[in-house]
A and B are shown apart, each in its own frame.
Chain A
Amino acid sequence: MLDPEKFIKDSVSFIEKNVKRGILACSGGQDSTLLAVISSMAKTDILTVFIDTGLLRNNDIKRIKEIFSSYNVNGRILDRSSLFISRLRNVTDPEEKRKIIGRTFIEVFEEEAKNYGAESLLQGTIAPDWIESGGGSRDTIKSHHNVGGLPEKMNLRLVEPLRDLYKDEVREVSRYLGLPEVQPFPGPGLAIRIIGEVTEEKLNILRRATDIVEYESSKLNDKPWQYFPVLLPVRTTGIHGDQRTYGLTIAIRFIDTIDGMSGTFSRPDWSVLENISNRITDEIPEINRVVYDITSKPPATIEWE
């Protein structure tokens, strides 16, 4: 029902009307990347900033560089990985993780905005983000990094042109612009896919597992809406080449949904899950067990934290 051409036109004029000099927070996901591309069409000064939080997957930075150059986005990539990771030390509560990450994002953006002389912050917030982030009579299910982490008083004016869109509509507009389709990736990154404390070591394990899951899933004809591993702090007994092991657990989450607001676990071919399991346990010595998540939304959310 959404008309992509009209939406883009309206958004461009909305941005031109509301932003003189702005900074755009780009996570590399479908939403903020789309916003970066739409904003690059506006006759306004906008700097798109992508922060390397150290909580990213292996290919994220390379991919965003390519998009910046092929769509003429005025973009900048900042490495703040040690800042983010040091702040997450000893933190295990998922809401605290999300809030710390959100606050750190804002801090970095505010600093960049000051350097750039921006008065506005553009964010790719979409409908489910602010719906799930609570407020008023709504229960907070999760603090989304681009909503819940915002300080009460901020020096930047918030501009969110995608506020009323759902994921499927973001995809529709992205397709219209020829943007590559990527599976959703949460703002707080791999931090909320590591249950318990986030460490460099765990991030490396999860990155390798993520590569395997993404590669093996790409062989599916019908890819799920989202497909990713979660690293659990659960140790179990295993046997690797006649030797006893006591390793960590990876949970695989495949989700089918239209808009992310409700969904079911996918029923992929067993062989895909088998390949993923074999490769993870073969290639990542720290892992000796792989499980599959068979919970729908509701009662579970898509991400584990």
Chain B
Amino acid sequence: MSFENIIYLIKIQNEMKIYIIDNGGQWTHREWRTVRDLGVDSTIVPNTVDADVLADADGIILSGGPASIESEMSKLGNIKEYMHRYNYPVLGICVGAQFIAIDSGGRVSKALHAEYGKKIVNFTSKDGIFYNVPDSINAWENHNDEIKSISDDYIICAYSDTCRVQAFYHKNRDIFGVQFHPEVNNTEHGTTIFKNFIEKCRR
């Protein structure tokens, strides 16, 4: 680890609190681990927890999960409230990202091509938490549904050959979404995305 990284870690350690909202994803714990490996304290909470619990959060991550968002919105618990009650940065992963799209007035439904495992994700813009990520990365996917549309408040910034919306960010608030799984070890530069997100969460 470089000296710069060590200093960075010392700076953020114990200063921040990130909550990982568990939507039942197989990789929720991987998100916890990635954040921990970046030296930040995080807690996994079920998506049914009272929004009051998140009062001290510096940021939240909405995990992936098995819910099909069209018909099983109830499985996503209180995440709507978590998103709007506070002004902290939000990172939605997979079903978490799909929720953000729907919440914005967009549409999510069964994907034309489901994606499982390795896909090439191409970035068209690398603002926000996608800073320092190469134009194309090998990313790990695991979804049956896809985002068909999202409100104009968001900028779609990545795509794959078989899925048009792979990443997006809000124009004015720190809200980000990724359809792929940056927390998975096989996804290239996933840690960079988490590191950038943590940077956004710094008070």
Contacts and interface: CB of A to CB of B under 8 A. Distances in A.
Q: Is B a genuine binding partner of A?
A: yes
B73 to A, nearest CB: 12
B37 A1 contact: yes
B118 A257 contact: no
Please classify the interface of chain A as helix (H, G, I), strand (E, B), loop, or mixed, using the class held by over half of its residues: loop
B26 A264 contact: no
Q: How many A residues touch the partner, as a band?
A: 20 to 34
Given A166-B33, A264-B118, A296-B117, A139 B186 contact: no
A137 B67 contact: yes
Contacts of B67: 137
A298 B27 CA distance: 11
Interface string A240-283: 00000000000000000111011110000000000000000000
B65 A131 contact: no
A263 B75 contact: no
B117 A137 contact: no
Nearest to A259: B185
B39 to A, nearest CB: 8
A298 B23 contact: no
A65 B186 CA distance: 36
A137 B140 contact: no
Contacts of B116: 296, 298-299
Q: How many B residues touch the partner, as a band?
A: 20 to 34
Interface string A112-150: 000000000000000110011000111101000000000
Contacts of A262: 27, 117, 140, 181, 184-186
Contacts of B27: 131, 261-262
B56 to A, nearest CB: 22
Given A137-B75, A298-B116, A299-B117, A127 B37 contact: no
A261 B31 CA distance: 12
B128 interface: no
Interface string B48-68: 000000000000000001110
Contact of A127 (B22, B23, B29, B186): B29
Task: Indicate the member of B25, B29, B181 with the most A CB atoms within 10 Å.
Answer: B29
B148 to A, nearest CB: 23
B28 interface: yes
B179 interface: no
13 contacts: A1-B39, A131-B27, A132-B26, A138-B24, A139-B66, A166-B33, A257-B185, A259-B185, A261-B26, A261-B30, A262-B27, A298-B116, A299-B117
Interface of A: 1, 127-128, 131-132, 136-139, 141, 164, 166, 257-259, 261-264, 296-299
Given A261-B30, A262-B117, A263-B186, 19 more contacts: A1-B36, A1-B39, A131-B27, A131-B29, A132-B26, A136-B46, A137-B23, A137-B24, A137-B46, A137-B66, A137-B67, A137-B77, A138-B25, A138-B26, A138-B66, A257-B186, A261-B26, A261-B185, A298-B142
